[in-house]
């Protein structure tokens, strides 16, 4: 079984503020993969990052950073110095090794106010 | 540039009509998926296919069927559309490597009147 929880539904921030999106997952497998996707208003989900269960190294890509902690089953996403273009729905997802299916969280609607 | 395309961005149908949603990918992916997205419910898997003519039910298959006659094309069929099937429908594809991500189409917003 695999499950992803994104507790916050909508988050509003003023431009240039930081915003952190929480993702908590559940799985019985030892090998799994975690993903973040962005869905802008145009509708198409855009892949942002993946992490495998053996790689707990945090990652930074420009203003985006990810914090993976197996001890708390969390894979949190931070946008630093937010911009209006960051306004979107962000989904966290989990895929167990050997399983074709992705389990998605319900998504975080981020609204960046200019 | 890899692509997943869906036949329509917006579709309006009447209750009881048969509806076809088409999805095509050009990445030679084995797996293809149909999701529906509703406010507050996130993405829910309707059906997926891991090979030509093969399919598996997802979490909410009731009221839907699918067809995959060719590797690049995956169709979602609403045999008799109902108003509760008004939603955003997203198609995705992936290869068989667990590590790799799914690629999504732009979505079809279906309204059933």
* pLDDT tens for each residue of A67-91: 999 999 999 999 999 999 999 999 9
CA distance B18 to chain A (A): 24
Q: What is the CA radius of gyration of chain B?
A: 13
- Compute how many other C-beta atoms are within 10 angstroms of the C-beta atom of residue A87: 18
Question: CB distance B106–A9 less than 8 Å?
Answer: no
Q: Which residue of B has its CA nearest to A53?
A: B99
> 10-residue block means of pLDDT along chain A (114 residues)?
88 96 95 95 92 88 94 96 97 90 93 96
Q: Which residues of A touch B47 (CB under 8 A)?
A: none
Q: How far apart are CA B42 and CA B37, in angstroms?
A: 6
Measured between beta carbons, the chain B residues lying within 8 angstroms of A40 are none
DSSP string, B53-110: TEEEE-S--TT-EEEEEETTEEEEEESS--GGG-EEEEEEEE-S-TTSPPEE---EEE
Is B40 close to A106, i.e. CB distance below 8 A? yes
Q: Note the pLDDT tens digit of each residue in B5-45.
A: 999 999 999 999 999 999 999 999 999 999 999 988 889 99
- List CB contacts (< 8 A) between A107 and chain B: 42-43
Give the pLDDT band (50/70/90) at residue B2. low
What is the pLDDT, as a whole number, of residue B84?
96
């Amino acid at each position: 079984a695999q499950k992803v929880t994104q507790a916050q539904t909508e988050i509003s921030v003023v431009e240039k503020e930081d915003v952190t999106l929480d993702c908590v997952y559940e799985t019985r497998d030892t090998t799994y993969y975690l993903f973040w996707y962005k869905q802008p208003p145009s509708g198409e989900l855009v892949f942002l990052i993946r992490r495998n269960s053996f790689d707990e190294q945090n990652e930074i890509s420009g203003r985006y950073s990810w914090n993976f902690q197996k001890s708390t089953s969390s894979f949190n996403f931070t946008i630093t110095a937010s911009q209006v273009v960051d306004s979107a729905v962000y989904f966290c997802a989990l895929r167990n090794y050997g399983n074709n299916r992705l389990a998605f969280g319900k998504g975080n609607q981020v609204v960046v106010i200019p | 540039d890899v692509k997943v395309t869906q036949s329509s961005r917006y579709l309006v149908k009447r209750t009881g009509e048969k509806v076809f949603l088409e999805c095509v990918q050009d990445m030679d992916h084995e797996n293809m998926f149909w999701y529906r997205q509703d406010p507050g419910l996130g993405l829910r898997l309707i059906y997926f296919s891991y090979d030509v003519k093969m399919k598996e039910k997802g979490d909410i298959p009731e009221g839907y069927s699918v067809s995959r006659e060719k590797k690049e094309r995956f169709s979602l069929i609403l045999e008799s559309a109902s108003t509760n099937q008004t939603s955003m429908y997203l198609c995705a594809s992936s290869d068989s490597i667990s590590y790799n991500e799914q690629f999504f189409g732009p979505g079809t917003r279906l309204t059933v009147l």
